[in-house]
Amino acid sequence: MHLQDFIVKSDLALMSEEIKEFTHKIVSKLRENAVEKNKHLDLDYSTLKSDFTSFGLRVPMVRKLANEFFKELKVEGVNDIDEVLEYCNYLHQLKISELRTIAVQWSFKLKNQFKPRHFNTFEKWLKNYVTGWGSTDNLCVQSLGFIVYTYPEFIKKVKGWTSSSNQWVRRASAVSLIYGLRRGEFLKDALEIADALFYDKEMYVLKGYGWMLKEASNNFRDEVFSYIIKNKKTMPRLSLRYAIEKMPEDMRKEAMQ
């Protein structure tokens, strides 16, 4: 079944023919490079439901193809962030893992065109199309992280994600601050988010805020260390080990005592 055959019964059908045709080129290239068992993957949209499918390509290959097709978009005159996001929204809706990766990469290439109104688009991607720690982190350390860093008024909304029933949204509340933490911002907010996620029941959420603290320690080592020492008796060991990973050995030993 070809791509143009399964765009039915949804808002996918409203997309322009140019977007559909361009996406078909990408899917054909993905299929060409797919692992053998997935070369004949049935992409009937009606069967995908809430699950993503995949051609099984390695991420470096997907990123290489993303760059190649982005150059083609530019040649065709598609350079505006809102135009590109139309393509990206379509790629997400098809629920193919490689297309999701390409969409995030394309959006990030135009990060300097982001406006506050684009936050809603990235939040929608997070809540509707993220399915694991990999897709969460890919979005959060790129487009979502950049727009939160650029427009910190969205920090309040990000903090609200800590109470989400979706573990990937909760993880995102921590990981989306990493872009800013690497640039010396958001320490206070990061510690507040760590407090909110402190006893989370999900492993990947605990790892997520531990990673956030580890990144914060690059610019705020003493502050993060103080937070850890204050909370080490009750802090989940999984989060603690992540948080102290980049600290000097003597600090790590004290934290683990």
Q: What is the pTM of this model?
A: 0.89
Residue-wise pLDDT for 58-102, tens only, equals 999 999 999 999 999 999 999 999 999 999 999 999 999 999 999
The pLDDT score that the predictor gives to residue 238 is: 97
Q: pLDDT confidence of 17, banded at 50, 70, 90?
A: confident
Whether residue 35 has pLDDT greater than 80? no
Distance CA 76, CA 164 (A): 40
- DSSP β-bridge partners for residue 96: 53
- The pLDDT value given to residue 171: 98
Q: What pLDDT is attached to residue 185?
A: 98
Higher pLDDT, 3 or 235: 235
| Cβ-defined contacts of 187-192 (< 8 Å, 24+) | 187/216, 187/219, 187/220, 187/223, 187/224, 189/155, 189/158, 189/159, 190/216, 191/223, 191/227, 192/159
Q: pLDDT, tens digit, for every residue of 154-181?
A: 999 999 999 999 999 999 999 999 999 9
Statement: residue 9 has pLDDT above 70: no
User: How confident is residue 256, by pLDDT bands cut at 50, 70 and 90?
Assistant: very high
Does the pLDDT of residue 49 top 50, yes or no? no
Residue-wise DSSP of the chain: --GGGS--SSGGGGS-HHHHHHHHHHHHHHHHTS-GGGTT----HHHHTT--B-----HHHHHHHHHHHHHHHHHTT--SHHHHHHHHHHHHHTTBHHHHHHHHHHHHHTGGG--GGGHHHHHHHHHHH--SHHHHHHHIIIIIHHHHHH-GGGHHHHHHGGG-SSHHHHHHHHHTTHHHHTTT--HHHHHHHHHHHTT-S-HHHHHHHHHHHHHHHHH-HHHHHHHHHHHTTTS-HHHHHHHTTTS-HHHHHHHH-
pLDDT > 50? residue 236: yes
Angle subtended by helix axes 97-109 and 17-32, to nearest 10: 120
Chain centroid offset of residue 178 CA: 12
How many CB atoms sit inside 10 A of residue 166's CB? 14
Q: Take residue 174 and report the two structure tokens written for it.
A: 């921590």
Structure tokens at 100: 């999701």
What mean pLDDT do residues 229-255 have? 96
The string of pLDDT tens digits covering residues 107-151 is 999 999 999 999 999 999 999 999 999 999 999 999 999 999 999
In which residue ranges of the chain is CATH 1.25.10.90 found? 124-257
Half-sphere exposure for 242 (CA within 13 Å, toward CB): 18
The C-alpha atoms of residue 98 and residue 19 are separated, in whole angstroms, by 17
Percent of the chain at pLDDT exceeding 90 = 85
Average pLDDT, the chain: 90
Percent of the chain with pLDDT over 70: 88
Q: How far apart are CA 136 and CA 173, in angstroms?
A: 10
Q: Region 12-37: what's the mean pLDDT? A: 81
**pLDDT exceeds 60 at position 7:** no
Domain 124-257 annotated CATH 1.25.10.90: yes
For the cut 80, the answer to whether the pLDDT of residue 42 exceeds it is no
